[in-house]
Each structure stands twice: as structure tokens, then as C-alpha cells.
Chain A
Amino acid sequence: MQIFKIREMKRIQHIITAAAFIAISFSACKKDALDKQPTDASSGATYWKTETNAVQAVNNVYRYLGDFWDRVFLSGATDDSFAWSNWPSDIIYVGNGTANSSTGVFGHYWNNFYTMIGAANNVLDNIDKVSGMSDEMKKRLIGESRFLRAYAYQQLIGMYGDVPLVTHVQPVTEFMVTRTPRAQVADFIVKELDTIANYLPVSYGTADAGRATRGAALSLKARTYLYEGDWANAATAAQAVITLGQYTIDGDYLSLFNGTNKNSSEIILSGRYLANTYANGTATWVGGPSVGGWSEITPVQSLVDEYECTDGNTIATSPLYNASKPFDNRDPRLKLTIVVPGSVVNGITIDVTAPNSIDGLGKNNGSFTGYYYKKYIPTVISGSYDNNSSNDIVLLRYAEVLLNYAEAKVESGAIDQSVYDAINKVRQRPGVNMPPVTAATAATQTALRAIIRRERRVEFPLEDNRLFDIRRWKIAETVMPGNVYGILNNYNTDRADYGAHVLVEKRSFSTTRDYLWAIPQNELDLNKNLTQNPGW
């Protein structure tokens, strides 16, 4: 009688059981069923344990050094170069005075350097948690991090003036920072560098080439003092680098920038790159159509004119200067740095004056100035359009230390033979061999100042120095505004500018505004405690 019912019951029970099992297994008091952890990254809470952790976190800070999209564009904000397009960098607006507080490059550098500072602070706040690391190693890693942070601040004060000084990873309550006076930040930088110089080794083994050295710390210190006008300390710090004996002037100027001489004894600090896996886009940005580039940043006539003739005189005074052959008898660095008509780059002849030249004026992606940079074109161009170069971006080199030394001494009035020696080491680099500057040719502070300023300009195009130099020398207001010219058009009768220099751009410069960049508008909109620089 009952059997059928029970059989039916069996099914019911099966299902109820199954349902109950499913229900229970969901919760199952498997304690941490819901506690899912990332599978390819380590939790921040448990990260800081081993020396490897510390080393890899420090490696990360270096990633912001080279800044591969934008670094070479800094020159576009100076009287050296013209940036014709607003992509990938809109530095063109900074150069011609039409920038506003939302202009992209202002945010770009600000973000890049504060990210670098954040990464360094993260190491410094946490490295004590790591156990089993030698004291020496720990000091080195702290030294590297503090050096990189100091480097970021040196760049920031040069660009923006007063900037927030952030020296630890901030709790939320401290997000709304205020700006610290530039002098205080500079003071912080040199004190940091003083402290860590001895934490850092004088040199590394091959595997670690590229890390911050004692020389880099001392060089940065010298630069910081010089940029802030502390001549005596600048000279002392530069002297310390010279005394270190680690660095020499390289015999091959161009090789420092074309990827073939990355470990030159002249290079003190560089942003490092590697073909295929960690490449940058220099060839695309700097190269012209003939080398598959976009001529994004090109030299202007004023830079070309700055190079002396081989007799050591300027083109205005030298008998060797021939206006119809303006590129002959010039400081060899002119043709090492700049493509003039007929220059050969990586085996390709570039002559903008040739009829139908694809590099010519008015050609798509061609230079508006008629000149191209040769410096920084890598010898190997391989990869996609914005990732085809593996040359390093040079950030600190011995030539700068020597010229910093000379300038500091000259400005402090302590002119002695060491000043001439320093300048001449740079001028008389093998392959350059310009006539020496001597007490006979330049005896006074004024004469030497002019020589050093010219020497810096022709030695450092496309490096960051010019931007900071025209600011601290307060010459931006004279060199920046007005018409910017390119090559002399004495070859294309079709053009309206035949017989004259190509007019590239008209620039304006506000003395009350443009010595400092705008604090990025997005930053001001987020942090009401920040104040804007005057005029923006």
C-alpha cells in the first residue's frame, strides 16, 4: 500500500537533499570562500620581506627617469627648437606663448615626477620592514631612492618654482598639500644628496650599469647649487665630481646619443632603454621623413647661428664665416647636432634644398625650419612608429659638470686656470677640437660668462639644460619672443620667402608669467590648497 508513496518520496528526498547540499556548500563555512586574492601580484600588506622585494621596488623608481614620450620635447620650450605639431606633446604652445593652465605638458611632467617621488617614498617608508639585507645594500637602495626623488624635485622646481614637498606616502588627511618655497625644496635636495652621496657606490658592476652613483649625486648637487645661484657651493660640488676621477670627456660626441656608447665614461646618469622590449620613440619624434620620422622637434636658425667658426669666433666676427656657405668652417658640433643640406644620417643623404626632396619645406612631416636634428637619431631604427629607438636619454654628463664648475667659478669671481681647463676639456673634445679659451682670449668675467653660455647652448641641444639656463640667466624674455626663423631660402624661387629666412612662428613671452610653468589646472581643481603661479 505505502510502497508507491515511499518510492515517490525517495525522489523528493533526493532533490531536497541535493538542494540542501548545494545551499550548504555555498556557504559551507569554508571560511574564506569569498576571500579572493590577486594571482599575479603581491599584496601590498605583505610585500616588504626580502631584499629582492626592496631591489625590485627601487628598480621601479627608475622607470620614470627617461620619460620616453616627452623628454626630448623640452627643447621646444626654448629658443633652440620648434615643435610644429601638438602631438604627442603640445609643447608648441609653451614655446610660442599660447599655453594655458590646461596645456598637456604641464600636467605630464608634474604627474611623471610626482609618480616617481611616490614610488621612491614608498620604498623609503617601507624598506625597514625588509629583513636579512646587508647594511651596505640597504644603504645603497635608500641612496638610490633618495637620489631619484631629489632628481625629480630638481626638475620640478626648475619648471614650476615652488612645489609641494612630499617626502612620505601621504595618508588621506594629508592629500591637500601646499606649495613649499623653491629655496626650501632646493635646500632639501642638496641635504639629501649630501647624506646619500656616501650610501651610493662610485660605480657598479656591468649588470647594474645605469643605477645612481655617488658621482650622480654629487653632479646633481652641483647643478642644484648652480641653478639656485649658490656659486661657491656649486663649484665645490662640481670639483668633488672632478676629483672623483670617474669621468672623462668622450672622444665621440654623437655616440653619447645614438645608442652606440651607452656606458661611456662621460655619462653620469641616463634614462635607459633596450631594443624591442623597453624602447622609446626618439627616431620618430626627432627624425625627418627620409628616416621615417615626423620632425616633431627641429632646430631653428638661432641655434645654428650660435655655433662658432673653427677659429673660435662667432659668425658675426669670424673671417671664416661665409654667408653663402654658412655651414662651412663651423664648430664641428654643428654638423654633429644638426642636419644641414647634404648631411648624411645613417647612410641617408638629407638635402632639403634639392628639388622635390621629401624632407623639403612644405612637405608632409617635413621640417618647417629646414633643419633637422642629427643628435639623438639612433643608428638602429627598428620597431613600430613610437617604439623604434633604444638609445638612452642622457640626463647628467661630465661635460655639464665641467661647465657647471666653470660657470660657478666665473660667477663667484674666482677665475683661475681651472676654469679655462674645464671649458677647454669640453671644447677640445676629440672630434670637436675647437680652439682653447685662454686668459688671452677671454680674461674678464663678462667675456667668460658669454663663452660659457654659448658653450652650454651648443653642447647641450635637445638635453634639458637650455630650458633651465634661459630661465636662471633671465634671458628668456629676450631670446624667446618674436619671430622664429629657419633656413635661408635661397633655393626655392616659388616661395614667397625666397631670399630670406623661412619664418616659422611668432612667439610671445610674458616676463611676469612665463618664467614659471602653470601648475596643472586639473591639480588646482582637485586641491584647493594649491595656488597658481602668477599670470596663469
Chain B
Amino acid sequence: MYKKFIVNYCRPSGYIKKFLLVMKLTTVLIFAVLLQVSAAGFAQRINFSQKNASLKQVFKEINKQTGYNVFWSPGLFKNAKAKNLNFVNTPLNEVLDICLKDTQLTYLLDEKNLIIKEKPPVAASQQSVVKGKITDENGLGIPGAGVIVKGTTTGTSSDANGNYSIGVPASGGTLVFTFIGYAAQEIAINNRKQIDVGLKPDVKALSEVVVVAYGTQKKANLTGAISSIKGDELSSKAVGQVSSALQGVASGVTVTQSNGQPGSDMGTIRIRGIGTLNNNNPLVLVDGVQTDANNVDANDIASMSVLKDAAASSIYGVRAANGVVLITTKRGAADKTSISYSNYFGWQNPTRLSEYVGAQKFMTLANLMYTNSGAGAVYSESQIAQYDNPNRDLNLYPDNYWLDKVLTGNGFQQQHSVAVAGGNEKNQYRFSTNYFDQSGLVKNMDYDRLTVRLNTDSKISSKLDFSADISANISDQKEPQGVAGSAWYQFSQAAIANPLSVDKYTDGTWATLRGGQNPVRLQEEGGLYNYKKNLFIGNFKLTYKVIDGLTISAIASDNYQSTNNSIHNKALNDYVNYFTKAPIPLGTTNNITKERIDYWMQNYQALVNYKKDFGKHHFNLLGGASRLSESYDYLSAYRNNISDSDLDEINSGSASTSTNSGYSTEYLLLSYFGRLNYSYDDKYLFEANIRRDGSSRFPKGSNWGWFPSFSAGWNVAKEDFMKNVTGIQELKIRGSWGKLGNDNPLANGSSATLNYPYQSTFSYNNNYPFGGALNTAASQSMYTNGGLGWETTTMSDIGLDVSILNNKLKFTFDYYNKKTDQILYKLDIPATVGFEPSYQNAGSMENKGFEFSVNYSGSIGDDFKYNIGGNISDVKNKITDLKGTDYLSTDANMIVTGYMTGVPIGAYYGYQTEGIFQSAAQVSSHAVQTENTAAGDLIYKDQNGDGVINASDRVYLGSNIPRYTYGFTLGASYKGFDFSALLQGVAKVDINVLPIEKAPLSTDGNFKSLQEDSWTPTNTGAAYPRLITSNLNYLSSSFWVKSGAYLRVKNVQVGYTIKPSVVSKIGLSKLRIYASGQNLFTFSSLSSDIDPESPNDNRYYPQVKTLTVGLNANF
């Protein structure tokens, strides 16, 4: 059944052919109709010319020319003067306006009637005044709130203290009080002169309606697994990237931040774990258009929905297999213009840093390591003793703590946001701009970004809406010059350099470090690496309401991103041997690399949506088509031997050294999709989706795929039999099944292997020198791939939503089973083949798990309100099929990872350790490890009992895929004070600390304080094995696999809203000040220098904790 539809679209057969035919016929018909319409259109214009024409004459003529029935009451025109009129092909409304000018008359025009009537009296019947105060949930006056007499245009707004005064008709009526973010309230006047009103926050608007694929839906009617997050949950965090703000706020969503470097500190988002062997990034759509989550400013986000199961996301088909994140940005409203400003200032510090030993200890440990290994001591006792003398010659006996030396930045960050929103009935806008500036922990390692967004909505007519959203940002990331990656260079040198390395001699000359550049000097005197990104996104949408319930939309989105990288290296080649003053020829040169990367994404979508109710039957039908193209263009140029080291443009270098490179890639995705929602009495809910995608990443014949999904829900609480059950407001059971496709084998969207994964090509970008000149070498590095098709994910989900205690306590539970087949992966192949593996449909994987979230909101007294929430999710990952090619892979750190059926992907394998050998006798009685094994070494278990420890003794040791990811949120408010906290953690995960905790194997490395507790004959109970120069103890083993469970206080915030009566004196309607902390505390059993969230070795830029203060102000 499924297979049958995998046919080339352009050679349609049967079903598709018919569909196409219908489409074509429709077009032809539409053309025919259009011709008629154009001819008739002129008839609505009037040709009429007469002096002293009476109104009666004019209306009779209009009736004649247009066919409208024109009505007026007798005597209506008695005061009207005759006019000289001359209309040539003048539109009807203009004719009417001219004729009725200076009269007390107006008109009504409908489909076939023109009614002339008297203008209503203007504010003539105002007979009494109502006064009062509008307050918020805290009892504070709301300035600028709207008050309107229902059914009239009479209105006013409250003053700075929330007081208002409005004239009302004597007949009475109803007042409507409105304020953005608050539920409107209607109060009958009933002859009162004083009406005070307390507005309540509009929770309904934010929580009850959820943004879903191509629209919104009442939360009560959802059948898919969706988490929704309010914008202020994201914007209240002082983080630079939206992805980082998503951490811990929704169940089933795991965000890990692995890097604290300004501009590189985005989080990795995983929805329901790792679904595939390749790219696991979810699809992120901002206002319906695919982009990177970090391209939006958190302050602009109105809401965010995370679509987790197939039913919710399958309409997005491709790339929705890893879940979908829908971001909706804030828009203007037909209201008084509002201006808001917010800022914060923050200070960053590393969460954790390694502790290293000083020079003296270093030399002692190094000597121990070498003598343990059978070599002589490297450092003499007298050299070590020199360090007892504080007045020693620091040039000869240095003691440098390199981590302190490179941490030269101030870590200051600030953000300022301004938003202006407003509009009238017909046009609304919201303009916002944001400036973010972040200095790193290292001097010159900075990031700044300016974001601008303008969202506009226009009602072109009562039926035609148009919205144009334009956003742009300009960012600039800087790094000091560094070899092979700047942050890496700074931190890796600091982590590896031993304390005997001089940074600067006492006479001020720089020393080389580890035979190369000195990172501190690079910060101060080196060139700058500069990564500029410019982003423009235009998103245009036209929605036409054809008839009640039927709308057609056309959406065009263009996304252009350009990256300008400038990598400037200064020679800094004047290092000298401090003692002989002989120059040290590092051979570095002044050079410049310029890179230009252009990226275009164009997405055109057409949607038809039809809603219809038949009694209690509610139908919603959606159909659509989408064309998404991406192209990417890379160009790079390089020149060397720049005469003036300060210059950093290509032309400043020597032309004879110039090299350049460039390539481009293209991608096209065509999609058709449809959705049916059916509900009966809001009790029984059903949804079906179908999607067909064609991707340029697959070869002809297998590039089209069908992706269906179904879901159903039952609102049990609405059943009659539940009517007598009090205390349950919502009880819903959901279930879904669906299939999704994936054509995106890599996270990075640029490379040729990503965009042409089934192609094996000859690349010309290689050379070999014959006769002193480069000759082109054409290489086919990838093994030729026979064929490639869609990766598919099949997901089933069962969910339960419950709301009790008057909606105070809510919880949601989901259980899911996600199975990914035909995984696109470069499965390792033997090196003897001689080629790199190409992509293939490699196998299958399964993720099973549950998600649970609970929220309680309550209050004590009138003033103290609080809410508490928690979420936990679990995912169990397992490879279910690898085409019989299960294998283990050992990396350069000796970490062995498994690609084995039945266990999680990338699981740790290695030896099981059984302690540390305490004696030579123990070594010889144990299975043979190596000839060099001795007391103090790790004991590896002889799993197969063959008396030898070798590769066949390796076993499963654990998995680094987090189980039981959880988050807690706490919120409270009391009068003007508010408090919120987010705690986030993982209950079960394994981390391989081998690269972090192993001791150096030579003097090119530094010992950590914890390695002082290494085995010696006198320290037999040591935490670590003996220090030796070989890696016998640093093989993959259970000794180094540790629990990475942690709990982190991710965010704490305390705010105070100053009384409006105070701030109104300085022209503000609202002013809130706050202080917050990010990554404040961490609880983990790992050693103190490992950040459990990013258990990288300490050569990476560390995670940071940030303390901020800020304010939010509304004008």
C-alpha cells in the first residue's frame, strides 16, 4: 500500500494523475470566470454630469447604472441643496461621498442595497458621568486601560493611577474594560456613578489556546502531544540564545548547553531523545517558517509550542521526525500605542574550572611518573628545591597558573530591548529592537547582536488580511587569534601547559608556549578573528476569507543569511631565546583569510482551510502545498606575507601567496499536505494528516514519500455521566499514530555530503605538487552508493490530560514509542575498501519513554499567589537493527563506543575494572594484561576466562543518553514582589571522564590536584592508578565511566514592581526591577571541575554562571 505511492510525481499514475487533472481544469475554469469579472467590474463606476442636480436624480441614476436598490425615507432630502455634478467613470463610493458632503446624511451599502439615512446624533445624549479605578490582580491601578461604552464609539482610557472618567448615555448601558494581557470585563452601569473594576490576567488567551501546525487549537481539543510555553518564561532568562532558554521548561524536551563562549553558547535541543544516528535537531518554525531558533529575540516571543508526537508534527513531514518547535512572535493590537523597554546587565563566571598543581608539585609528580615507567627523573631535586625560595629567578624557575593567565575577560553582558506596538482596527504593528552585548571570559572573545523586527497586520478589506513580518539581525562574534580554533587554543593551552612554562620573562619579552604561540600574547597583540552574521527574514501572508469558514492563505518567506568571516593572523615571530637572545624561528606569517557564506531559503506555501459546524459536529479541513528551496554559497580567499601586520584585507597580502576556494549547494523540497479535524460536541476528537514530500536529496525513483498520521481524543469530563463528579474540570485521553520522514543526515546545512548524500563525486579541491607546482588531483573519497531513500520514523503516543481542583492542579502524561527505520547514516566500512563510507539506509532504532508534567497554582489570602510545576521525561534508546554490521569503534581518546543491536547508540564499552593491583604477585596471578603491568595499575576483568586481557574482554559499560530528565518551576508573587525559579537535572546518565580525569603521559601536560591521589606503594588506597607514561590505565574501562546525574539551579529571579502611583510621576505605566541568576548551583557527584551538563574535557570554553540585574518598563 505504502510502496505503491512511491512513484515519480512527474509520471503520475492513476490517483495522482487525476489529482493533477483536476488542478489543471480548475485553473482553466478560473481563467474563464476572471474574464467575465473584469468586464463587469466597470459597471460599479458612475458616469453622470448635470448642473443643479438633486440628490433624487443622482440616486435614480445610480440605481440605473449599478442595479442597486436605493432606499430613503420621504422628506429626507428636503434640506439638501442641488449641486453641480460631473462624474466620469467615478467609483460609486466617491460619488456618494461627494453628493452627501455637507449634509446630515450618510449611507449604507450592502450586496444589493444602498440605504440613505440620517447621520446619528453625535454625543448629544451624554447625560451622566461614571468614574472609577481600574486595578490589576495585585490591586494596583492600571494606567492606559481602555473603557468603552458597549455598542458605541464612546471611549476613554485610564490615567497614570488607573482612574478613569467617562460620559455615558442616560439610557445606561454597559462599560467594557480592556487591557492587553488581561481578560476584558463588561459591567452594566445600572445608574451607578462610581464603578471600580479589578482586571484579571487573561490566562485563557495564553494557556487555553495552543499554537499548532498551521493554526491554533483549543488546548482542550488537542489530540497530539504538545507542550506550550509562554513567551515570558523564555524572555525572563538572561541568556543570549533562545535555545538555551528552552531548557527545563517543557517535558520531553532536553536542552544541553555545551559551551559558554559568547556567540557559541546555543543549546542543543532534543525532543524525545535521540531518534536517529544522524541529525537529531528538531524543526524550528518561527511564525510558520523554518529557521534557527536562535535567530529570534526571546523578548519577541509570544508563545512557543513543542510538537512531540507524530500526530502533532506529521503535517510538517520532513524533518519533523525529531519534533517541531513552533515559535509565535508578538504582534500589535488595535489599541493605544504601547511602548516598553527592558534591559539587564550581567556578569559571567565559569561554573567550574580545573584545579591544577603548582610547579613544585608538578615536578614531583612528573618525576614519579617517569621513574614509575622505568626512566630517570626529569627534574633534579635542586631544581625542585629552588621553589622554596620566594626570591628565586622567575625566568629560570617559573610557576604559572595558566588558566588564570588566559581568563582576562570581564564577562560583562548587557541587553536592551525596546518595543512599540499599536494600531487601529485596520492596521496593527509591533516594532521591536534588541541589542545584546556579551564579553567573554577571555579578552577580545566577544559577541554582540542587534535584532530588529517589524510585524504588521492589515485588513485590506473585511475579507482580506495581509501580514508582513520583517526581521533582521546583525551579529558579530570575535575571538583573538588562535591556532586551529581560538577558544580551543586559549583553553587547551591553558589546560595542557605545565607550570614551568613562562608566559612573559621579567624583562617583558614574551615566551613561546609549547613550541608555538603564546595564548596570552595572542589576546593582547595577535590578530582578530571576526565572524559577522547578517540575517534577513521576510515573511508575508495573505489570507482571504472566501465565505464563512473558508479561508485561503498564501505565504511567502525569504530568508537570507550572509556570513563574513575574517581570520587575521599576525606573525608575532620575534620570539627570542631569553638566555642567548637568539631568535626562535616559529615561521609564522602575517596572513588573512576572508570567507563569505551566503545562504538563501525560500518557502512558498498555499493553504486552504475550511471550518464547518453541523450542529455538534465540527469539521476543520486543511489542504496545502509548499515549495522550499535552499541554496548555499561559500567563497574563501587567503593571502600570506602581509607587509604591515595591522592590515587585514586580501589586497594587503602578497598576490603570489593567494589561494581561494569556493563551492555551492542546492536543496529543494516539494510538499503537499492535508489535515482533517473532526470533533463531536468537544467530546470526541479526531484528526488525520497526510503529507507527501519530494526531496532533492534522494535519487530519482525514491525521492517521494507519503507520511500519514491519525490521532483521537476523548474528553471524558464532558460526558453526561461525569456531570455529577465534581472536582474534575478536565479528563482527556489521547492516542496517536503517525509516520514521519527525514532527509537531513547532518546538523550542518552546508556540506555537499548533506545535500547530495547519494552521490559519489570526484572532487577537484585536492592537489599534489609535481615539478614544484601544484597539479590538480581529482579524488573520489566516498564509496559509490547504490541508492538511498527516506528515513522514516513511526511514532505512537498515548496521553492523558487531567485538571482538578478548579483547574488549580493540572497534569499531563504521555507514553510513546518512536521507531526510526532506514536510518540515513554513514555506517563504518572496513578501511580495506579504500573509501570513506557513504550514506546508506543503515538500520533501525527505537526510543520508548514517558513524559509527565504537573502544575499547581494556588493562593494564600488575596495577595500571596504561587505556582509550582514539575516535569519528568524518560527515553530508552535502543538500536534494533544494523543490517548485521554491529561494531565497536575506538576513538583517539581510547573511548570505545558501540553500535550494537539491543543497546543504546554510542554506548560505552570497555573493560570491567576490579580495583587496583596492589602487588606484583597479584599481577602475576591475574590474567595477563601487558608485560608492563605492575602494582598500581587497574585490574581488568577477564570476561572470557582465557587468561589474557584483550579486545574480546570488552563489555557494555553504560550510555551517555540521559534518562529521566526533569525540571521544576516555582513561582510566587506577593503584592509587588515576584519570584521564580527553575531547577533542571538528569537522574541517570553515564559520562566517560577518561579524557577529563586521566593524568598526563608526559611533561607536555599538567597534573590536576586530584591526581595527587594516585597509587604509590605508600598510598595503596589511592583514588587513581599509578602515574606512568603509557596509557595502560587509560583504556576504555568502567573505572572512568561515572554517573553524570545532576541537579542544577538553572535560573532564579526576584523582581519587584513599583507602585504605578509612584512610577506614573516619571511618565511610566509600569516599572519592574529584578535580579536573576543563571546556573547558580549544581549538585553532582562528579569531580569538581566537570560540568555535568557539558562533561567536555577542560580544553573547551567552560559553561558560565551569570548574575544579572534588569528592569522592565512600560510607557
**Residues in A lying within 8 Å of B, measured CB to CB:** 1-27, 29-44, 47, 53, 56-57, 59-60, 62-63, 84-87, 90, 92-93, 96-98, 100-102, 104, 107, 110-111, 114-119, 121-122, 164, 166, 169-170, 172, 175-177, 204-211, 262, 272-274, 276-278, 283-284, 289-294, 346, 348-349, 354, 356-358, 361-362, 364-365, 368, 380-385, 388, 483, 492, 494-497, 502-506, 508, 510, 520-527, 530, 532, 536
Contacts and interface: CB of A to CB of B under 8 A. Distances in A.
A520 B892 contact: no
B807 interface: no
Those 3 A-B pairs whose CB atoms lie nearest each other, nearest first:
A118-B834, A506-B374, A98-B1030
Contacts of A36: 666-668, 696-697, 755-756
Interface of B: 9-10, 20, 23-24, 26-27, 30-31, 33-34, 36-38, 40-41, 43-44, 66-69, 111-112, 373-383, 396, 461, 463-464, 483, 498, 500-501, 512, 514-517, 542, 544, 546, 552, 554, 569, 575, 577-580, 582-589, 604-606, 608, 625-627, 640, 657, 659, 662-668, 670, 672, 694-697, 700, 703, 752, 755-756, 759-780, 784, 786, 828-835, 885, 887-890, 892, 894, 896, 930-932, 950-951, 1001-1004, 1029-1032, 1035
A209 B771 contact: yes
B832 A40 contact: no
A495 B370 CA distance: 14
Contact of B380 (A2, A59, A494): A494
A274 B774 contact: yes
Given A11-B544, A525-B888, A22 B515 contact: no
A20 B579 contact: no
Given A5-B111, A22-B606, A508-B932, A358 B579 contact: yes
Nearest to B929: A100
Nearest to A206: B771
B567 to A, nearest CB: 12
A115 B831 contact: yes
B627 A22 contact: yes
Given A276-B640, A525-B887, A13 B501 contact: no
B552 A16 contact: yes
Nearest to B513: A364
5 contacts: A56-B777, A107-B831, A114-B832, A210-B769, A496-B377
A121 B834 contact: yes
Contacts of B697: 36
A385 B764 contact: no
A38 B9 contact: no
Contacts of B1002: 84-86
Contacts of B20: 27
A522 B890 contact: yes
B43 A3 contact: yes
B44 A3 contact: yes
Contact of B832 (A19, A29, A521, A527): A527
Contacts of A278: 767-769, 774
Contacts of A293: 515
B507 to A, nearest CB: 14
A385 B515 contact: yes
Given A38-B665, A39-B665, A40-B663, A63 B544 contact: no
**Which among B577, B769, B931 has the greatest number of chain A C-beta atoms within 10 A?**
B769
B888 to A, nearest CB: 5
B659 A53 contact: no
B695 A291 contact: no
B587 A283 contact: yes
B34 A13 contact: yes
Contacts of A172: 786
A423 to B, nearest CB: 33
Given A26-B670, A365-B515, A111 B950 contact: no
Given A47-B778, A169-B834, A39 B666 contact: yes
A255 B663 CA distance: 40
Contact of A97 (B542, B700, B774, B932): B932
B566 to A, nearest CB: 17
A381 to B, nearest CB: 4
A34 B665 contact: no
B887 A521 contact: no
B589 A98 contact: no
Given A7-B41, A290-B584, A522 B756 contact: no
Given A18-B554, A47-B762, A176-B830, A60 B586 contact: no
A86 B892 CA distance: 11
Contact of A483 (B68, B374, B834): B374
B585 A1 contact: no
Contacts of A100: 930, 950, 1035
A44 B762 contact: yes
A292 B777 contact: no
B665 A504 contact: no
A358 B577 contact: yes
B433 to A, nearest CB: 33
Contacts of B950: 100-101, 536
Given A57-B778, A100-B1035, A277 B659 contact: yes
B67 to A, nearest CB: 4
Contacts of B584: 289-292
Contacts of B40: 2-3, 6-7
A364 B30 contact: no
Given A10-B38, A119-B834, A526-B887, 6 more contacts: A3-B41, A32-B700, A59-B776, A86-B1002, A86-B1031, A521-B951
Given A1-B68, A29-B10, A358-B579, A16 B30 contact: yes
A494 to B, nearest CB: 4
B363 to A, nearest CB: 9
B608 A17 contact: no
A119 B930 contact: no
Contacts of B544: 11-12, 15
